[in-house]
Amino acid sequence: MDLSIIIPAIREPYLEKTVQSILDASRTNIEVFVVMELCELSDKIRRDKRVIVIPQKRDWGMRGAENAALAKAKGKYVMKIDAHCLVAPGFDEVMVNNCSEKWLLIPRRYSLDEINWQINHHRHKRDYHYFVFPILTSYGHAFGCREWWTKDKERQDYEIDDLMTFQGSCWFAHRQYFMHRVGFLDGRKETYNGFCQEPIEIGLKYWLGGGKTKVIKKTWYAHLSKRKHHYKQRLFTRRYKKPKDVIATYNWVARHWMNNEEPGMIHKFDWLINKFWPIPEWPSDWRNVWKSYKI
């Protein structure tokens, strides 16, 4: 088995199209794990020997869904992708042929035109992201990511390049190294709370643990950005978006990584900041500013 693909799915209107896109575009020997709630199981998923449906319990969350698929995966490589995405022809072959053992690969990301099921060319491609300095927001001290547009211009000639962080809708890795470096995702309520900040956990365990996160522009995927009209039309639910303790969760994530509390890391968090410095919106005395928050 070359590649195990994981698709977590909760009330996903474009799941069928996503699965079909992956099956049609793949060139290697793949298995596709669709993890979805029992109440949503139906015949809308194409019957194909490459597709394995895993019934999801409601309390699993996104991380639990991914862990259930990771436990069954047999591929040399593993990939996670959201259930509202279009992939490029031969996406899997390109990444298999370009992924070093200790790399986490992120394909170029476009926006999806879900009506015509194609790339939305009215919106920019997205290659680079940076960590947002964790100032206080409505989510607490959110440690998220933002598009790094100046990097797009400066590094446009690099087909594979270092990536500080990523948006989270798709990642690709050597499965054995991923399980060694990251392992099953931490879904405890007192930490990431089942769904929060997956790219933070995975990406920082790679960078600070001795691996690397890379953007690969030789292939792409198109991802649907959920907007207000999608929720008004009830295509998606916000049921899992804002738990009551989301502020505590985001504060814990920022504190955990900024204060170097993750065990087994080779590098300190400051090492990554220095590697990508200067970073937009980060104060030059960022360490002192962070200490002043006292969270």
Sequence-distant (≥ 6) Cβ neighbours of residue 277 within 8 angstroms: none
277 exposure class (CB count in 10 Å sphere: 0-12, 13-18, 19+): exposed
State the residue range of the domain holding 56.
3-293
Question: Which pLDDT tens digits describe the chain residue by residue (295 residues)?
Answer: 999 999 998 888 899 999 999 999 999 999 999 998 755 555 567 678 999 999 877 667 789 999 999 999 999 999 999 999 999 999 999 999 999 999 999 999 999 999 999 999 999 999 999 999 998 877 778 888 999 999 999 999 999 999 999 999 999 999 999 999 999 999 888 898 877 789 999 999 999 999 999 999 999 999 997 656 554 545 555 554 555 668 888 899 999 999 999 999 999 999 999 999 999 999 999 999 999 987 7
Maximum alpha-carbon separation in the chain: 56
Is 114 in a helix, a strand, or coil? coil
Q: Return d(Cα 279, Cα 290) in angstroms, integer.
A: 15
Q: Return d(Cα 29, Cα 44) in angstroms, integer.
A: 23
- β-strands 51-56, 3-9: how paired? unpaired
CATH number of residue 192's parent domain: 3.90.550.10
Name residue 171's beta-bridge partners: 80
Is 285 in a helix, a strand, or coil? coil
Q: Copy the structure tokens of residue 110.
A: 């476009």
Amino acid at 12: E
Q: How many domains does the chain have?
A: 1
